[in-house]
């Protein structure tokens, strides 16, 4: 028996088959690819990402060292989680970490909009994200991050599917 709808943490959401497996694979590759791309852009030029974090004004000026650390920890987390999602390794845990990250991004973007700050995202460097948002942060960026959050929560619920390293490990267990 395979349960497909369980979203309870630590539940037994079974691996989807057929169309479900392909859909989960596509979702994993999409979300993982976005995270890998964002990580590569930020790690290539951490100074620019640090400027972006600073502009959000969420970290007090006296704790600027946290901005410097965040400018490296966030992209490394995106890189690790992105790789794990694409491979389907520890998929639900990686998706949970991605959900926390996306939740943080949604909060940061919402907070910028609420405070009416003129901030450029810094999410993908000079390039546009999957929604093609341009210019200062606004509703488009909020929708983009909320969609990515929904995608990662979906993977937390349904797992990696059959086309994944996790499925291989389960078969060999």
Partner 1 sequence: MPPSAEAAAESIDGCAARGFRCPLGSLFGRALIVVAIAGLIGVADSARRPIQLTLNPNVSVPVGAGQASPRAAAAPAADPHGDDSPPGVLGPYVDLLQAKAVYDSLEADFIDAREPAQFGPGHIPGAYNLTQADFTGRTTPEALEFLDRSRPVVIYCDGGDCHASENVAILLQQAGFSSIHIMTVGFPAWVEAGYEVESRPEDDATGGGR
How far is C-alpha 134 from the chain's CA centre?
19
Retrieve residue 58's tokens: 């969420």
Nearer to partner 1 among residue 13 and residue 27 (C-beta): 13
Smallest separation (angstroms) from partner 1 to the CB of 109? 17
Contacts of 2 (CB under 8 A, 6+ apart): 14, 15, 17
Q: Can you tell me which of 20, 22, 23, 48 binds partner 1, judged by CB under 8 A?
A: 48
Answer yes or no whether residue 45 interacts with partner 1 by CB under 8 A.
Answer: yes
Nearer to partner 1 among residue 54 and residue 145 (C-beta): 54
Contact map string, positions 72 to 91, toward partner 1, x by CB under 8 A: xxxxxx-xxx--x-----x-
Q: Is 125 exposed, middle or buried (0-12, 13-18, 19+ CB in 10 A)?
A: middle
114-143: contacts with partner 1 (CB under 8 A): 117-118, 120, 125-126
Answer yes or no whether residue 97 interacts with partner 1 by CB under 8 A.
Answer: yes
Q: How far are the Cα atoms of 45, 71, 88 from residue 52, in angstroms, in the given order?
A: 11, 9, 31
Answer yes or no whether residue 153 interacts with partner 1 by CB under 8 A.
Answer: no
Distance of alpha carbon 75 from alpha carbon 168, whole angstroms: 28
Q: What is the torsional sign of CA 42, 44, 50, 56?
A: negative
Q: Which residues of this protein are in contact with partner 1, per CB under 8 A?
A: 1-3, 9-10, 12, 14-15, 43-48, 50-51, 54-55, 57, 64, 67-69, 71-77, 79-81, 84, 90, 92-94, 96-97, 100, 117-118, 120, 125-126, 156, 170, 173
């Amino acid at each position: 028996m395979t349960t497909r709808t369980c979203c309870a943490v630590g539940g037994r959401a079974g691996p989807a088959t057929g169309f479900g497996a392909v859909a989960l694979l596509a979702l994993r590759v999409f979300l993982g690819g976005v995270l890998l791309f964002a990580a590569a852009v930020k790690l290539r030029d951490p100074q620019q990402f640090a400027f972006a974090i600073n502009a959000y004004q969420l970290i007090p000026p006296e704790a600027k060292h946290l901005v410097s650390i965040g400018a490296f920890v966030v992209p490394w987390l995106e890189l690790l989680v992105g790789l794990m999602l694409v491979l389907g390794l520890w998929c639900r845990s990686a998706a949970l970490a991605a959900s926390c990250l996306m939740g943080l991004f949604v909060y940061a973007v919402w907070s910028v909009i609420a405070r009416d700050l003129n901030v450029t995202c810094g999410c993908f460097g000079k390039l546009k994200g999957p929604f093609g948002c341009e210019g200062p942060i606004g509703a488009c960026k909020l929708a983009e991050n909320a969609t990515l959050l929904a995608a990662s929560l979906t993977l937390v619920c349904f797992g990696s599917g059959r086309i994944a390293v996790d499925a291989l490990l389960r078969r060999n267990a």
